[in-house]
Structure 1
Amino acid sequence: MSLVERLIAWGERTELPDALTRAAIAGLVWRTDRALRNVSPGADAAFAAGMDRFPVAIHVDAANAQHYELPPEFFGESLGPNRKYSSCYFDSPEASLAEAEDRALALTMEHADLRDGQRILEL
């Protein structure tokens, strides 16, 4: 495990001031951006070809067990009326959780160019 990986693991277990967390994230983004600028031509195609040899998801059973170990009441208390746990969009500080859920769903529909009468398969 590299020093950076150890620091990330430590930071995830520790309560840190937001300013420090944001500075660390900005540093990681800068470091990754710099590394990606030095990638040789064709490296992205080689990476994509290599990824074809891997399954879409690994450790699925462990992820599902962690996801479903919480009782339904938890989600009733912590999520909005749509039980949307993937994201919300708070477009103002005064927005309620229900409004943020509705706004996120509306943005998804807009970005996907969904219209009445379409048949949609949601996974």
Structure 2
Amino acid sequence: MKQLHALTSPRPETADGRLMRNMPFWRHVPKAHWFLPQSHEEAVEDWYQKSLTGFSQEDLPELDRLRETYPRGEPYVFIHGDLAQPNILVGPDKHLSGIIDWEFAGFAPV
């Protein structure tokens, strides 16, 4: 993980430069085409607009405060995207021998 996260990009993207899917949403609604926002400003606005649903007018000052402190995602770090036990190969000597299933790999916020 440390070695992967040392690889960075100024924007979220797949290893081959395509738009990076927003995995938490995509896994639950596979036909949806939600991609990670391409800039910090776009990410903040996207979050803010989605947050307005279900909040009352009296919540707006708190939302505005959170909007101002929204964490930056850059630089984006390289991730596997599906690093789970079935994708980690261990040899008979009990040492890591490989990692498979890189289809969700790319650059995303830490």
TM-score, with structure 1 as normaliser: 0.23
Q: As a proportion of its length, which structure holds more strand?
A: 2
Q: Tell me which structure has the larger Cα radius of gyration.
A: 1
TM-score, with structure 2 as normaliser: 0.24
Q: As a proportion of its length, which structure holds more helix?
A: 1
